[in-house]
Structure 1
């Protein structure tokens, strides 16, 4: 009986410790995120004063989701941002400094790879979550805006504004997840 109790306590301790330390990197996320926002600002001038589509309700739901879902959402969103911003051949009209774009993408890739390590530690079912579908649909809309506006400088500025909004909200999610 005593051996069973110790075994149970060890398993419980190990489980709690792996849950708590599964994503220690979230504490550093905010610093890298601030750097990414600074680089994004340096890419262009003032952000356009035009509304861009944004999945605010989805972010509100993710704010209250499990940490595992929050971290997975951050990874998914980062991957979509990387894909849309890594279109150098279509960025000619934007006249952004490509070195700044590269540094920005490097920051995002670092955040993504660190968070992927966190996701790998969580025991999460592999089925598609509704937020995966919704975020994919949102970025498909942004790509359509780029295509419809023929990858113009104005279209890229709209995308830059949308990306800024995503990064700001993602920073809040990372902060919430880090406190749990």
Structure 2
């Protein structure tokens, strides 16, 4: 409980500290990664680490990148959007991922609670900072991609129907990992140094 409170305090402090910085979260300096990419890589590493604690790995119905086929197509289409619309796409994906991981108990998994808390803090930080960028950029389109929204709703329902089992969480972890890997590519194309 103390670690959760500490991480929440650290995250909120950092978020409030960066409120006036506009969209520097997504910008890259020459030869380096953006803060989004740094945190996204930490989130990816955390999910990969958590995956080592679950046995069995099935991947039917998925494209080569681990995403359901229709979502892989959506990520490919997002690569050709304007910067503001790419940012909206990233925010909706992060928001769906954060809601998914906060939807129920992961006690059935072998994941350490500290790892889950850290993952949630990374997701919260990314989601908050991307939302700050959206406020600074004021994109014209804020339409939620209906297929993506339905995708996260179905994943949440599947988790619930499977009683938040370890295998259900593993499936969620693998799909979220694929999402984050694709979001990293998309973020790299928003602001080129």
TM-score, length basis structure 1: 0.78
3-state DSSP of counterpart to 1:172: helix
Counterparts of 1:123 and 1:37, CA distance in 2: 28
Specify the structure having the higher radius of gyration (Cα). Answer: 1
Instruction: Mark the CA change 1:22 to 1:134 in structure 2 (over 3 Å): closer, same or farther.
Output: farther
Which residue of structure 2 lines up, in the alignment, with residue 124 of structure 1?
Answer: 139
Which residue of structure 1 lines up, in the alignment, with residue 152 of structure 2?
Answer: 139
3-state DSSP of counterpart to 2:145: helix
Counterparts of 1:153 and 1:123, CA distance in 2: 40
Which residue of structure 1 lines up, in the alignment, with residue 58 of structure 2?
Answer: 49
| Aligned Cα root-mean-square deviation (Å) | 2.1
Q: Are positions 1:174 and 2:190 aligned together?
A: no
Which residue of structure 2 lines up, in the alignment, with residue 60 of structure 1?
Answer: 76
Q: Are positions 1:105 and 2:120 aligned together?
A: yes
How far residue 50 of structure 1 moved from its aligned partner, in angstroms, is 1.9
Counterparts of 2:186 and 2:162, CA distance in 1: 31
Counterparts of 1:123 and 1:108, CA distance in 2: 22
How far residue 35 of structure 1 moved from its aligned partner, in angstroms, is 0.6
Q: Which runs of 5+ in 1 are unaligned?
A: 1-20
Counterparts of 2:136 and 2:177, CA distance in 1: 29
Counterparts of 1:120 and 1:95, CA distance in 2: 38
